């Protein structure tokens, strides 16, 4: 019986639609297991710019600091995507939140539900049994270095920077996770070209002897992009820099069937933030067809990691599994054989998961 305060930050686009379903599931878990969850909500991204001019208003950040955990949706709006000159942008709110909360480790589990073997564009025999845990570094790299223009705006630059300390703290998290899994760690970099990657590899090599039970391999990011599709089962835990991790996990979402299936946990110094890896998906916003399972599975990560509620978290994952076994799908994970009446909208899919709890 615990009392916890959860901040709901839906953000923009389908963030609004899917986060509502994640919250519904948290509510049901509280009732079922006798916990008290209190909620508040806050603005971020385009929604916050419209209301306050700031993509991460001080009041939102303050609420985040005070909460026991944050369930986050997505940020983004086509208006900014198509206007490279915009100075204030929704994504700045997300990046500032990560920096201010010290969320240096982004865990992105890539786990295929067996029922979705056919939903992926990869052959079932290549996919079956794939289970990867990405550790994406989240507060460094080219995202946070100095950026700007010179030569009257005709030259642009973004500086990628990593300190030994930053690499070591994410690496240790990944090594520790590998110990609880299949004891394999793949560190991904571009050390044949990039200096931050050479530091990255140096740090991994230096601390690896402290984890003799973990088998370490180094892969270049370009080869990794290929290996993920060729043989996803060869990976257990993967640790990589911010930009490489961003790109590789969108690619890896196809191992799980869809972007709409991939949850994430951002953890570090303070409040943990739980969010789908997908964005605000302008192309389907307002249609009620977004897959809410990434948000629901993010809620499961929240229960496990921030609240230590493993049984509650497992109950959510099991409920999702049962819904998929019963044949229900959202459009993104349906295939040619899915009967029309089994293809559900966002809220109806959330309701099916609820019904299993």
User: Which residues are marked as active site?
Assistant: 143, 190, 222, 246, 250
Q: Which of residues 226-255 bind Mn ion (CB under 5 A)?
A: 246
Half-sphere exposure (CA, 13 Å, Cβ side) for 41? Answer: 13
Per-residue binding string, ligand IPM, 270-289, x by CB under 6 A, is -------x-x----------
From the list 136, 134, 110, the residue with the least C-alpha distance to 259 is 110
Closer CB to ligand NAD, 67 or 103, in the complex:
103
User: From residue 169, how far is each of 162, 207, 273, 304 by CA, in Å?
Assistant: 12, 11, 18, 21
Give 219 or 254: the residue with its C-beta nearer to ligand NAD: 254
Options 191, 204, 255, 290; binder of ligand NAD; rule CB under 6 A? 290
Side-chain half-sphere exposure of 31, counting CA atoms within 13 A? 8
The yes or no reply on residue 259 touching ligand NAD (CB under 6 A) is: yes
| Shortest separation between residue 245's beta carbon and Mn ion, angstroms | 9
Quick one: which segment of 87-95, 182-190, 217-225, 293-301 binds ligand IPM (CB under 6 A)? 87-95
- Rounded distance between C-alpha atoms, residue 264 and residue 184, angstroms: 20
Minimum CB–partner distance for residue 279 and ligand IPM (Å) = 6
Q: Is 44 in the site for ligand IPM (CB under 6 A)?
A: no
Phi–psi pair at 248, nearest 5 degrees: -65, -30
168 lies in the binding site for ligand IPM (CB under 6 A): no
DSSP symbol at 307 = T
Distance CA 205, CA 220 (A): 15
Tell whether residue 41 is among the known ligand binding residues: no
Of 177-185, 273-281, 296-304, 313-321: span binding ligand NAD (CB under 6 A): 273-281
Q: Rule CB under 6 A: say whether 161 interacts with ligand IPM.
A: no
Cα torsion 49, 54, 55, 59: sign: negative
When asked if residue 177 is in the footprint of ligand NAD (CB under 6 A), the reply is no
260 binds ligand NAD (CB under 6 A): yes
Please state the closest distance from residue 279 (CB atom) to ligand NAD, in A. 2
294 near 18, Cβ under 8 Å?
yes
According to the binding rule CB under 6 A, does residue 91 interact with ligand IPM? yes
Measure Cα distances from 229 to 36, 46, 63, 187, 335 in Å.
43, 34, 40, 17, 20
> Binding ligand NAD by CB under 6 A: which of 256, 332, 344, 349?
332
Q: Which residues of 210-238 are buried (b: 16+ CB within 10 A; e: fewer)?
A: ebeebebebbbbeebbeebeeebeebbbb
Cβ contact 14:74 at 8 Å:
yes
Token reading at 158:
């973004």
How many separate helices (H) and strands (E) can be counted in the chain? Answer: 13, 12
Nearer to ligand NAD, 47 or 357 (CB): 47
Window of 131-139, 143-151, 219-227, 275-283 that interacts with ligand NAD by CB under 6 A: 275-283
Query: Would you give the binding string for ligand NAD spanning residues 7-36, x where CB under 6 A is met?
Result: -------x---x------------------
Please state the residue numbers annotated as binding site for substrate: 98, 108, 136, 222
Q: Which residues bind Mn ion (CB under 5 A)?
A: 246
Annotated binding site: 98, 108, 136, 222, 246, 250
Residue list for the binding site for Mg(2+): 222, 246, 250
């Amino acid at each position: 019986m615990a009392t916890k305060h959860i901040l709901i930050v839906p953000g923009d686009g389908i963030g609004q639609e899917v986060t509502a379903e994640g919250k519904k599931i948290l509510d049901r878990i509280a009732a079922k297991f006798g916990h008290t969850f209190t909620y508040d909500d806050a603005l971020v991204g385009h929604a916050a710019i419209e209301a306050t001019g700031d993509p991460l208003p001080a009041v939102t950040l303050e609420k985040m600091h005070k909460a026991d955990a944050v369930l986050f949706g997505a940020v983004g709006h086509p208006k900014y995507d198509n206007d490279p000159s915009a100075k204030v942008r929704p994504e700045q709110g997300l990046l500032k939140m990560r920096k201010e909360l010290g969320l240096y480790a982004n865990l992105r589990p890539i786990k295929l539900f067996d029922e979705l073997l056919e939903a992926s564009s990869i052959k079932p025999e290549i996919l079956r049994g794939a289970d990867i845990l990405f550790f994406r570094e989240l507060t460094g790299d080219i995202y946070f270095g100095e950026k700007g223009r010179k030569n009257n705006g005709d030259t642009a630059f973004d500086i990628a920077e990593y300190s030994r300390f930053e690499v070591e703290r994410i690496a240790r998290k990944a090594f520790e996770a590998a110990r609880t899994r299949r004891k394999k760690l793949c560190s991904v970099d571009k050390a044949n070209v990039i200096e931050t990657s050479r530091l990255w590899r140096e740090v991994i090599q230096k601390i690896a002897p402290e984890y003799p039970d973990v088998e370490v391999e180094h892969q270049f990011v370009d080869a990794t992009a290929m290996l993920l599709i060729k043989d996803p089962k060869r990976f257990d835990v993967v640790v990589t820099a911010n930009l490489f991790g961003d790109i590789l996990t969108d690619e890896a979402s196809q191992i799980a069937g869809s972007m709409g299936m991939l949850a994430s946990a951002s953890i570090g110094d303070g409040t943990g933030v739980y969010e789908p890896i997908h964005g605000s998906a302008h192309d389907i916003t307002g249609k009620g067809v977004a897959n809410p399972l990434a948000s629901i599975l993010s809620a499961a990560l929240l229960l496990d990691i921030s609240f230590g509620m493993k049984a509650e978290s497992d109950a959510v994952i099991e409920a999702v599994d049962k819904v998929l076994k019963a044949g229900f799908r959202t459009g993104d994970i349906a295939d040619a054989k899915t009967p029309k009446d089994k293809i559900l909208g966002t809220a109806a899919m959330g309701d099916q998961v609820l019904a299993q709890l």
